[in-house]
Structure 1
Amino acid sequence: MLSSAGTKVRVLVALLLAAVLLLAACSSGESSSGAAARDLCSPPGPGSATAAPTNVEVGSETTVDRYTTDSVIPLDQIDTSRLNLITPGVLTVGTLTDAPPSICINSENQFSGYDNELLKAIAAKLGLQINFVGTEFTGLLAQVAAHRFDVGSASIGTTDERRDIVGFTNSYDFGYNSLVAPTDGPIQGFDDLNSSTRIGVVQGTQQDDYVRNTLGLDPVEFPDYATLYANLLSGQIDVWVAGSPQAEGIVEPGDPMSVVQNSFIPDNVAAWAVAKENQPLIDALNSGLDAIIADGTWARLYSDWEPRPLPESWKPGSKAAPTPDLPDFAALAALNPQNTTEIPAAQPKSTLQQLKDTFFNWDLYVRAFPDLLK
């Protein structure tokens, strides 16, 4: 139960948030020169390439490929009238709003992000329209299984437990589990975590499962990424176990937080979720994925949205899909000043400064606003 003082703080924060949002709504439409004017859901481009992480947990790159299909049905043999879609001719997709660069809403109020742009390209190959619907990750797989959505698009890690609920396409992305912690804090790796560490995760994600079942620890669950990161910045939790795309998209240069270690595990490849019994739709999406790999669309979108080297043990699509022709991201990363400039160590902040940085950080409100409307 919350104490009286804790309740008052929460009420004050809620009032401050309401005031900030009201002022924004009543403004004349002028954009500031700060984060409010920056599109948080836009492709950073190949110029923002990063090298493969050097702080990967030892022994974590071993993988066994059990589910990737050997080949796909040729695209011209896909009968889109037999895909069991909720609305014929329309792919209804459940997705998220606040996890750039993978899944997010851009400055034009359109669902975008790397995962969804890939899906738009596949829908075009299949001659389907696409309709995105925002939801929370916690209930997404159940909604796909119950045919509320044809597809779930949210950088979904293909764990065996999830395969008991839904079916999956071939993978289109990989990821590391990233440990985000104070840059110069005492926690610098997964081995530093213990039962007294307040570990933040987004509820129902692969990272939630990883902390519980691989690390054997009890995390603090949050409904969305913006709320979680705000609590990390304010010191309410000690660390965040994140998917690497989300960590890279939310943690910015100059923040007092950084990715202190990564872990690559077989379950952390991303695929689209489909109802288990709807094999025709899974086959169609697999065919579309191989088609956009073959024509270079996958490589272009990947280079724009997530420019980083592929692990040696992984490539997108079926086993028959060609290996994507990608730029030398390591060389591009070496030319990127952001990757070579040393960021000064963050100085300890007072409680008032932490509150200012967290609750008056317009960037966080922009990320959280679609969920607040719910």
Structure 2
Amino acid sequence: MLITRRKFILATAALCSAASIAHAQDNKVLRVATDATFPPMEFVQNGHRTGFDIDLVEAMAKQMGRHVQWTDIDFKGLIPGLVAHRFDVAVSAIYITDARKKVVDFTQPYYHGGLVVLVKKSNTAIKTPADLDGKKVSVQVGTKSVDFLRTHYPKVQRVEVEKNEDMFNLVQIGRVDAAVTGKPAAQQYAKTTGDMRVLDTPLTTEEYGMAVRKDMPQLTQQLNAALDKIKANGTYAKLLKKWFGPDAK
């Protein structure tokens, strides 16, 4: 009986030790999800993830002494994935909103953005956001654009698509009149194609944040501290200039 009990204690100790080691290893990994279809924030180039958000997270993880384990997932699955504990952080040009803050935590804002309207240069019917009424407008499922148009532009004929590139392509081929999306991606697409333009008047002015599981407040604090450090040492400014040009702030 004594031997059996001793074996039980030793087995329990071994399990606890293994759990401690696994936990220690986990603390070296930062599990981050993104939808890499939103240049210049995050996208795939030559088979590799890249973009401002990607570089920013990697720089922050390095500051934290951690390795990033990336998960690629559609934008609409980012918040549900966090809630389901599939990963710990979601970084994908996510606007900080009151609705999202009910189910996840956010770091301090790391970049300013907002919703804008993208149209073809040849489109003379849409000069201001008010001209969207009655028009076909493409939006990506799961983004703020959907609810924003539903609430503020109920007369718009929304065309909801799964992928960011599909949203832009519909404008390009004339299947829709405009797209409503985040400012960085819209500006990048207009610059790349040459035959698109972003309306001067934005729909909203908002800020991007990194979404974190609510049961990990310490991680949110660590991410904020890392962001402060890379801002202080000049890394953040270098990334801004790399992805948004020499005048970016």
- Give the TM-score of the pair, scaled to structure 2: 0.83
Code of the aligned partner of 1:139:
G
Compute the displacement of 1:329 (Å).
5.4
Please tell me the residue identity of whatever aligns with 2:207: V
Compute the displacement of 1:257 (Å). Answer: 2.2
Equivalent residues in 2 for 1:123-142 (5 A)? Answer: 123-142=61-80
- Is 2:33–2:72's contact at 8 Å kept on the other side of the alignment? yes
Distance 1:85 1:134 in 2: 25
Matches for 1:147-162 after TM superposition, within 5 Å: 147-162=85-100
CA–CA distance in structure 2, aligned partners of residues 218 and 275 of structure 1: 35
Give the secondary-structure state (helix, strand or coil) at the position aligned to 2:94. Answer: strand
8 Å contact kept, 2:52–2:240: yes
Q: Is 2:41–2:92's contact at 8 Å kept on the other side of the alignment?
A: yes
- Give the 5 Å matches for 1:4-43: none
Give the match for residue 139 of structure 2.
201
In structure 2, relative to structure 1, the CA distance for the partners of 1:262 and 1:87 (3 Å cut) is farther
**Equivalent residues in 2 for 1:296-335 (5 A)?**
296-307=234-245, 328=247
1:276 aligns with 2:188: no
Given the superposition, is the C-alpha separation of residues 253 and 141 from structure 1 closer, same or farther in structure 2, using an over 3 Å criterion? closer
Q: Which runs of 5+ in 2 are unaligned?
A: 1-19
Q: Amino acid of the residue matched to residue 238 of structure 1?
A: D
AA aligned opposite 2:168 = Y
Q: Which residue of 2 aligns with 1:102?
A: 41
Q: Equivalents in 2 of 1:164, 1:221: separation in Å?
A: 25
Q: Distance in 1 between matches of 2:201 and 2:75?
A: 22
| Amino acid of the structure 1 residue aligned with 2:120 | P
Deviations 1:340-371 (A, max 9, x none): xxxxxxxxxxxxxxxxxxxxxxxxxxxxxxxx
Contact 1:176 1:262 (C-alpha < 8 Å) held by counterparts: no
Task: Find the aligned partners of 1:153 and 1:166 in 2 and give their Cα distance.
Answer: 12
> Following the alignment from structure 1 to structure 2, what is the Cα–Cα distance between the partners of residues 86 and 240?
44
Where 1:142 maps in the other structure, the secondary structure is helix
The structure 2 residue matched to 1:191, chosen from 130, 134, 143, is 130
Q: Is the 8 A contact 1:202 1:222 kept in 2?
A: yes
RMSD of the TM alignment (CA)? 2.2
Deviation at 1:254, TM superposition (A): 5.4
Q: Which amino acid aligns with 1:259?
A: V
Contact in 2 for aligned 1:97/1:134 (Cα 8 Å) = yes
- SS of 1:156 mapped into structure 2: coil
- Name segments (4+ residues, structure 1) moved above 4 Å: 327-330
Match of 1:232 in 2: 171
Which has the larger helix fraction? 2
Determine the structure 1 residue equivalent to 2:115: 177
Following the alignment from structure 2 to structure 1, what is the Cα–Cα distance between the partners of residues 28 and 227? 18
Q: How many angstroms does 1:264 deviate by?
A: 6.2
**Separation of aligned partners in 1, 2:144 and 2:97:** 7
Task: Sort the Cα spacing of 1:248 and 1:236 in 2 relative to 1 into closer, same or farther, 3 A.
Answer: same
Deviation per CA, 1:268-321, whole angstroms, max 9, x where unpaired?
A: 2001011122111110100000000000000000111123xxxxxxxxxxxxxx
The answer to whether the aligner puts 1:248 opposite 2:187 as a matched pair is: yes
Q: 1:209 to 1:87 in 2, by over 3 A?
A: farther
Q: Which has the larger radius of gyration?
A: 2
Cα distance in 1, alignment partners of residues 89 and 195 from structure 2: 37
State whether residues 135 and 157 of structure 2, in contact with CA within 8 Å, keep that contact through their aligned partners in structure 1.
no
Q: Which residue of 1 aligns with 2:148?
A: 210
Task: Check the 8 A contact 1:181/1:188 in 2, yes or no.
Answer: no
* Aligned match of 1:287: 225
Residues 175 and 264 in structure 1, CA contact (< 8 A), matched pair in contact too: no
Distance 2:79 2:157 in 1: 22
Of 221, 229, 234, the residue aligned with 2:160 is 221
- Structure 2 matches for 1:322-361, cutoff 5 A? 328=247
Q: What secondary structure sits across from 2:197 in the alignment?
A: strand
Say which of 42, 59, 84 aligns to 1:146.
Answer: 84
TM-score, normalising length: structure 1: 0.57
